[in-house]
A and B are shown apart, each in its own frame.
Chain A
């Protein structure tokens, strides 16, 4: 038996590179569409801009089946606990893209009813500004996320996800103790954090 040449059939790499390559090229989005950015998202999914080139054609409206939460549009204070619940239900690895200025910072709605940025209640990976951002801008945002994913390590659970689940536990404890609705509990947590100058409740 002679030596076999395996040069053409074996590839050597690191585990993270391969796993990250697979993850970033098959990001299944959960379009958490609330307002106008969802309409630009629909344009992005249509034939001209064609988001499915990025492996993201499989829109999964169930958090159990998706990896990327695209928050499209204004998130109000009434919607905040809903967003937290959806994020909590997603399986890891999971990423959040805040699409539009309303999701990034509250946008032009500096009022009693609008959450001033979803990063106050969930961890965010990429912020895509625009009102609404053009489909090309949103695609660029997802490409930035892909860059971020390719640099991740597989070793431990991400610290921000851990902190989020701890804040969720605090929220549930507080809700049980006070008997208030989830909406009022999250609103009070956000306002108290604001009083201390803290932007986030997680």
Chain B
């Protein structure tokens, strides 16, 4: 499959791979990421569906930026994960895929991961001077608002009622 072709063309670039439930996934380092993308674009993976991230709070590097690609001719999918540490940047794909524009802005907004080379890296879903990055694991779900977990008129007990029963 395509992972074998990547390994044949660019040896040493694949740090890890799996195909859990049939989803082909490769883990690639940030500095060789653009080479891989250019190669798979030539292989037919011409649609970038989505860019998102996962905060692995108990691991270094902290974040995994996850890209999903689709090959319209063979209907194959590929997931590329790029591990990135706190504060480090990932190269932006905006020059190759216009769909990366807003997806990368959203990852920057919600996780705080900067993208190098993005023409307009500003917040997308939250307002410009919103403090913090909400989808990080250390950001509280209620954002500091007591009324999220306590009812109006109820006695304000110090323990908030959690959503998990």
A binding-site residues for B, Cβ under 8 Å: 78, 105-106, 110-113, 116-117, 120, 180-181, 183-184, 190-191, 194-195, 197, 199
Known: A181-B129, A197-B156, A199-B152. A112 touches B145 (CB 8 A): yes
When distances are taken between beta carbons in the complex, the residues of chain A under 8 Å from B156 are 197
Q: Which of A106, A116, A117, A120 has the largest number of chain B CB atoms within 10 A?
A: A116
Task: Please indicate the chain A residues that have their CB under 8 angstroms from the CB of B22 in the complex.
Answer: none
B146 A112 Cβ-Cβ under 8 A = no
0 or 1 for each of B99-142: is its CB under 8 Å from A? (1 = yes): 00000000000000000000000000011111100100001111
The complex places the Cα of A184 from the Cα of B147 at a distance, in Å, of: 18
Residues of B within 8 A of A197 (CB): 156
A175 and B146 alpha carbons, distance in the complex (Å): 23
* Shortest distance between the CB of B110 and any CB in chain A (Å): 10
Besides A110-B142, A181-B128, A184-B127, 7 new A-B residue pairs in contact (Cβ under 8 A), listed by A number: A78-B127, A111-B143, A112-B148, A120-B147, A181-B129, A183-B127, A199-B152
A-B pairs with beta carbons under 8 Å apart, 19 shown: A106-B147, A111-B142, A111-B148, A112-B139, A112-B141, A112-B143, A112-B145, A120-B147, A181-B128, A183-B127, A183-B129, A183-B130, A184-B127, A184-B130, A191-B144, A191-B145, A194-B145, A194-B147, A199-B147
* Shortest Cβ distance from residue B148 to the other chain A in the assembled complex, whole angstroms: 4
Chain A interface helix/strand/loop/mixed: loop
By a CB distance below 8 angstroms, the chain B residues around A120 are: 147
- How many residues on B have C-beta within 8 angstroms of the other chain's C-beta atoms? 21
With a cutoff of 8 Å between Cβ atoms, the chain B residues found around residue A112 in the complex are 134, 139-145, 148
Is B8 interfacial (CB 8 A cutoff)?
no
CB distance from A2 to the nearest CB of B (A): 68
Closest to A110 in B: B148
Chain A residues with Cβ under 8 A from B146's Cβ?
194-195
For the complex, is B163 an interface residue (Cβ under 8 Å from A)? yes
B134 to A, closest residue via Cβ: A112
- Cβ–Cβ contact B141 & A110, under 8 A: yes
| Chain A residues, CB < 8 A from B142 | 110-112
Say yes or no: is B149 at the interface (Cβ < 8 Å to chain A).
Answer: yes
Contacts of B152 in A (CB 8 A): 105, 117, 199
Decide if A113 touches B147 in the complex (CB within 8 Å). Answer: no
Whether A116 and B128, one on each chain, are in contact in the complex, defined by CB atoms closer than 8 angstroms, is: no
Let me know if B147 and A116 touch, CB within 8 A. Answer: yes
In whole angstroms, what is the CA distance A7 to B156 when docked?
63
Ranked 4 nearest A-B pairs via Cβ: A112-B143, A183-B127, A110-B148, A116-B147
Q: How far is the CB of A123 from chain B (nearest CB, A)?
A: 15
Given the contacts A111-B141, A112-B134, A181 and B127 also touching, CB distance less than 8 Å: yes
Whole-angstrom distance from the CB of A194 to the nearest CB of chain B?
5
Q: How far apart are the CA atoms of A194 and B156 in the complex, in Å?
A: 11
**B19 to nearest A CB, angstroms?**
34
Bound form: Cα–Cα A194–B151 in Å = 11
| Distance of A181 Cα from B146 Cα, bound (Å) | 23
B163/A110 in contact, CB under 8 A? yes
What is the CB-to-nearest-CB distance from A33 to chain B, in angstroms, rounded to a whole number?
A: 20
Name which residue of chain B comes closest to A78, CB basis.
Answer: B127
In the complex the two chains form, what is the Cα distance from A105 to B148 in whole Å?
10
